[in-house]
Structure formats: structure tokens, C-alpha cells
Amino acid sequence: MLLLRSLLFFLCLLVTTSLFALPIVVLGWLLPFSAVSRIANAWGLTNVTLLGFICNLRFEIQGWENLPKGNYIVCAKHQSTWETIALRGLLPPNQTWILKRELLWIPVFGWALFHSQPIAIDRKAGRNAVKQIIEQGRRYLQMGRNIIVFPEGTRVAPGERRKYGIGGALLAQKTGYPVVPIAHNAGVFWRRRGILKYPGTVQVVIGPPLESATLTASQLNREIEDWIESAVARLPGERMPKRRQGTSP
């Protein structure tokens, strides 16, 4: 049943991606950024809702009040595909994502992603990639957008750690915009290389904004990592086993 539900959701994901992406691909050159963003958010919200109905995989979010009224840079934990869907649908739509440029080559999905105006970097470019993040990130922030970045650069299994890239912290330090850290335990229920979606509740914690005025980029990056990893460590690191019938609490 678990595999069947997971495959059914995967099929729904393919269908919804096509339904939402095709209008962007066809009309993307004519649509304003705000319209593309609303369509992208509708895609994310639709699929995170379907996860609840089909796979009984739901979510709880703490810390909505920590989102600043102005623009900001989100640095989020990266454990799963879940957060790439959920954050797109749940955060305000004026999003610009920092992502690897290879994603733009995926048929239909990547073509639609191009019209969302991401900062698509070559991760092998080193300093040039960081320069691109700062130049484009500054421009998009000034245009009223929020920047979304996964500092780890790739999905990391629960209980494991990976060095945090400095791009998001450096962008904050250079521009003066605050960083909003986000922690979660999505990888417990949707593994980074797995098709199975286990039932349960993803816990998401939005942290208070981290200011960069008195910090170097390295110091800020360390604060981001410390906050996210400490918050993740306090979240459930494994699924709760189903209670057998007739057993007491």
C-alpha cells in the first residue's frame, strides 16, 4: 500500500507539473514575473496538499511570525524533494531560487523553471558562481524578491552533515538584507533518493532573521549553520512506529 500510494503521488506530480508548466512554457515570454510566480506557487501548494491526501504526509510550521515584512534571503535545510515543492508553494510568491543550471535542461519542467527567473549557477565555476549570486541576487532583492537558497548545495540525509556554501551568507553581507533560516525533518519521511513517501508530519521551523551588519560572511554562515543544525537536532529524527492494536499508550 505504501508503494502504491507513493507511485500514485508520483503520477499526480507528473500530471500537475505538466498542467502548470505548459502555460508558462507557451506564454512565459509574455507573462509578467508575478503571474509566473503565482502559477509556480499554485503548483507547489497543489502537490504538498496532494501529499497529505494520497500519502498521509502532512506538515506543521512554526515561526511564521519570523518572516520579515521586507525582502529577505531564505537559507533552508536540504534533505528531500519535499522542501523544493513545499517552500515554493507556502512562502510568499515573489521568489527567486538559487539552483544548479542543469535543472533548466529538464524538458517542460526546466523550461518553465527558466521563466521563473532563477539564479542558475554552474557549481563548478567557483568564484564566478559566487560573483553571479551576488550580482543577480542584489538586483532581484532590489526588485522586491526574496532569494531562496539551500546552503548545503545538495540533499543530505537525516543525521548527516555537509559543509554549508557561503553564497547566501555573502549575498546577505554584501547587500544588508536579513537571512531567514529554515529547519525541517522532511528527509525522515521522503528520503533523498527514495520514491517512498512515509506517512507522518514534517516539522518545519522558521527561525528569527539573522542580521549581517556586524558580521563577516564567514561568521554569518556559521550562525546560519549552527541555527539550522541545532533546530534540526531537536526535531524527530525517525518516524513514529505504528501502534499495534490493543496496546496501551
If pLDDT is split at 50, 70 and 90, which confidence band does 216 have? Answer: very high
**Quick one: pLDDT at residue 240?**
66
- The pLDDT of residue 246 is 36
pLDDT at 241: 56
Q: Which pairing describes strands 57-62 and 179-184: parallel, antiparallel, or unpaired? A: unpaired
For 16, 40, 127, 193, the CA distances from 9, given in Å and listed in that order, are: 10, 18, 39, 16
Q: Which three cell numbers stand for residue 201?
A: 508530519
DSSP assignment letter at 230: H
Percentage of the residues of the chain whose pLDDT score is greater than 90: 89
Q: What's the rounded Cα separation, in Å, for the pair 148 and 167? A: 11
- Please name each of the domains of the chain with its CATH number: 2-233 (3.40.1130)
Residue 242 has pLDDT above 80, yes or no: no
The CA distance from 246 to 237, in Å, is 26
**181: helix, strand or coil:** strand
Q: Beta 73-76 vs 57-62: how paired, if at all?
A: unpaired
Give the per-residue pLDDT at 126: 81
Residue 243 has pLDDT above 80, yes or no: no
Q: How far apart are CA 181 and CA 67, in angstroms?
A: 10
Least confident piece of the model among 9-18, 44-53, 191-200: 191-200
Q: Which helix (H) or strand (E) holds 210?
A: none
Q: What angle do CA 47, 207, 99 make, to 5 degrees?
A: 50
pLDDT single digits (tens) 45-82: 999 999 999 999 999 999 999 999 999 999 999 999 99
What 8-state DSSP symbol labels residue 172?
H
pLDDT tens across 93-108, in order?
Answer: 999 999 999 999 999 9
The SS3 assignment for 240 reads: coil
Question: Are 147 and 168 spatial neighbours (Cβ–Cβ below 8 Å)?
Answer: yes
Mean pLDDT of the residues in the chain: 93
Pairing verdict, β 200-206 and 57-62: parallel
pLDDT-based confidence at 145, cuts 50/70/90? very high
Q: What is the DSSP letter of 189?
A: T
Q: pTM here? A: 0.93
pLDDT tens figures, 173-187: 999 999 999 999 999
Name the strands in the sheet holding 146-149, side by side, starting at the edge strand that comes first in the sequence: 57-62, 200-206, 179-184, 73-76, 146-149, 95-100, 119-121
